[in-house]
Amino acid sequence: MILHIDMDAFYASIEQRDNPELKGKCVIVGGTSGRGVVSAASYEARRFGVHSAMPIFQAREKCPAGVYIPPRMARYRHVSGKVMAILQTFSPLVEPVSIDEAFMDITGCERLEGSPGHIARAIKTEITTRLKLTSTEGGAPERFQAKIASDMDKPDGLTIIPPRAVPDFIKSLPVEKVPGVGKNARRHLDMLGVRSGMEERGQGQDCGDRRAMAPVVSELIPQRHSVGIDDAVAVNDALDVERADAVG
């Protein structure tokens, strides 16, 4: 089983934690010049439509009352190190994928730590208790599924997809949730009437038409992802292919 741990609005949350006066306020971290972009936005700011990578001038138009703060990358890296250290206490197989998220392989940890849900809740509690920050966890047999799961209940959420639930999960998975499917691909797929992972496999309505368009769809959606298969050898080089197959 793979867990994906994603810190909630990481930069903005650290700023709110370090400065209690910012609690509950619209905090936008990013370049303060007119040409800068938003690095992170608190959930209060997101309610106004502010999001990461948005130009700062647009953020100011949407949220003029926001508190705009230049990034403190050294501080964020320091806190990130503490997050990763906490994760290492639950499993040695931790793969940071960015400053605020990581994958963990907890295969075999159940004997000592309990069920995947129990482990994920323990991680959340430890991060909140020690760092005064919230995180969202997703768990599933494969990395790509775990990442999608962590995006289903943000912020401060937890979603576990057990192996037996994967087929139904994939069947109902909107194509925009499939890694690698961007706006252009979604537009083309919508024209084909393809809206879920199972429809993409030709098992939805009008499947004859969809099968006829299979070469086009194949270019638009990573096929193995659409059926819940992740080619990545799970989490780090210490895992061999046999173990990766067992995880999936």
Q: pLDDT tens, 131-166?
A: 999 999 999 999 988 998 998 889 999 999 999 988
Per the prediction, the chain carries an average pLDDT of 80
Question: How high is the pLDDT of residue 114?
Answer: 86
User: pTM for this one?
Assistant: 0.75
Q: Which two tokens stand for residue 107?
A: 């295969």
The β-bridge partners of 3 are 104, 139
Mean pLDDT throughout 34-54? 93
Give first-to-last CA distance, the chain, whole Å.
8
242 counts as catalytic: no
**Active-site annotation holder among 15, 44, 95, 101:** 101
Mean pLDDT throughout 35-48? 95
HSE-CB of 137 using CA atoms within 13 angstroms? 24
Contact 202, 212 (CB under 8 A): no
Contact 225, 178 (CB under 8 A): yes
Q: Is the pLDDT reported for residue 57 higher than 80?
A: yes
